[in-house]
Chain A
Amino acid sequence: MMEAVTLKGVEQHRAHFQLGPIDLNIDQGYVTAIVGPNGSGKSSTFRLLLDLAKPDAGQMSVLGYPVGQGDDREWKRQIGYLPEESDFLDDSIRGSEKAAFIRKWYSEWDVNLYQDLLRRFEVDDSIKLGKMSKGMRRKFEMALVIAQKPKLLLLDEPSSGLDPIAWRSMIDILHRYMEPGERTILMASHIIDEVRRLADYIVFMARGQILGKYEKDELFERWHILYVPAANDSDRGKLLAMPGVIEVELAGVGMYRLMTNDAPQTEEALQAAQFSIGSRQAMQLDEILQVLMQKGVYA
């Protein structure tokens, strides 16, 4: 499998923030979402990948090209980047003027797709960018990067400022963008539902560190809460020692609440030890992130 993005031992030192060392591979053909609280280093990582900031250590590649060496026009033409904040330098020009400028740089620019996206998003590109509402400007910028038909889309909090209707259109448009099969999306998001609907892989990040990369469905299949009826106090230790179990709490009389990161293994062990399972529940993304943070960087 080809990798769209690689980071090897990447570090960035700042007075109040240390990023990395980061080791991460992003597979081509998939949507990977980086999930983490504000200030965890998601946007900084994007800026490093685009050579907008220099790392203090490590190597990176994007679409097979080494970052920070030689002529970067060839690979940057194949990337669509949607930063978290709009560029205020563009405030005084109209949408159509910005589009006319962009199309000069991107050889794959698809004017029909651009017009189609503006229609779907109900955006009028004759308006000056500084006069657009936050949501309209976001939709305009989204249309702009997708019409470049990039091989790699870097999206930093793509839905910020979008209303629920526009958000749904965005999800659909991004799925369609991925349809050809060899394209890649790397997105940073803290919107749980967005990650659930779009991602194939999830990368957890906090305090400048990668906490883990998981295949989405496997993650939700493994991280479960199990309710186990157990009468006596000595069972607690037994339950805590089972494979996958992270946490055991008393949840009412004679009922334990187990948190596991490997539900199939835990269930097997429970059955072998003659425990029954009262009920089970898949954990949500934010709960998993919280546990990973407690166990990892904040431990």
Chain B
Amino acid sequence: MWLPIHLNENSAEPMYHQIEVQLRALIVSGQLTEGTLLPSIRELAQILKCSVITVRRVYQDLETEGLLRTRQGTGTFVASVQQEDLGRQRTASVIEAVEAAVDAGMRVQLTRREMEQIVARVIDERWKES
């Protein structure tokens, strides 16, 4: 099974975090539906060229969040996500992304006003596109 997960090895983000964010997004956006069987830990490690240690960590984290469940001997599945959870999860991933963007702005010492303008501009552009 192929998963649209792309890793940037030159990124400052740890590998497990890159995978976790993208896999979580695939689940909460509904692209991976309830009951979908995910690749085994070894398989996903092979596909992403990372270690099984990293994949196991991602699966365990998402299981703790209730997004995945593992059935002994059969594999790891997408769990049933409650509607209110789904809403919370949806915004959680967006909040995290915005926080990262604000951090990036602070690193290059943008003012609050500049950042707000950038955010507003990006929103305008993307809305036009879609």
Chain A residues close to B by CB (< 8 Å): 29-30, 171-172, 175, 178-179, 181, 196-197, 199-201, 215-217, 220-221, 224, 263-264, 267, 271, 276, 280-282
Q: How far is the CA of A220 from the CA of B42 in the complex (A)?
A: 19
The A-contacting residues of B in range 74-116, CB under 8 angstroms, are 107-108
**Contact of B10 with A by CB under 8 A:** yes
Interface status of B66 (Cβ within 8 A of chain A):
no
Residues of chain B at the chain A interface (Cβ within 8 Å): 9-12, 14-16, 40-43, 45-46, 49-54, 107-108
Chain A nearest CB: distance from B107 CB in Å? Answer: 6
* Contact yes or no, A179 B42, CB < 8 A: yes
- Which residues in A have their C-beta under 8 angstroms from that of B11? 280
Q: Is the CB of B51 within 8 A of A216?
A: yes
Cα separation A222 to B130 with both chains bound (whole Å): 38
B9 touches A178 (CB 8 A): no
- Bound CA span A201–B51, Å: 8
Residue contact B43 to A175, C-beta cutoff 8 Å: yes
Is B10 touching A281 in the complex (CB atoms < 8 A)?
Answer: yes
| Residues in chain B near residue A171, CB distance under 8 A | 46
CA separation between A201 and B54, bound complex, in Å? 11
Q: Provide the bound-state CA to CA distance between A224 and B11, in Å.
A: 10
Contact A221-B15, Cβ < 8 Å, known A178-B42, A179-B42: yes
Whether A220 touches B9, Cβ cut-off 8 Å, given contacts A200-B51, A215-B51, is yes
Give the shortest distance, in Å, between A132 (CB) and chain B (any CB): 29
Q: Bound complex: CA of A216 vs CA of B45, how far in Å?
A: 12
Contacting pair B50 A216 (CB below 8 A): yes
CB-nearest residue of chain B to A282: B9
Closest to A216 in B: B51
Contact of B52 among A200, A224, A267 (CB under 8 A): A200
Q: How far is the CB of B118 from chain A (nearest CB, A)?
A: 17
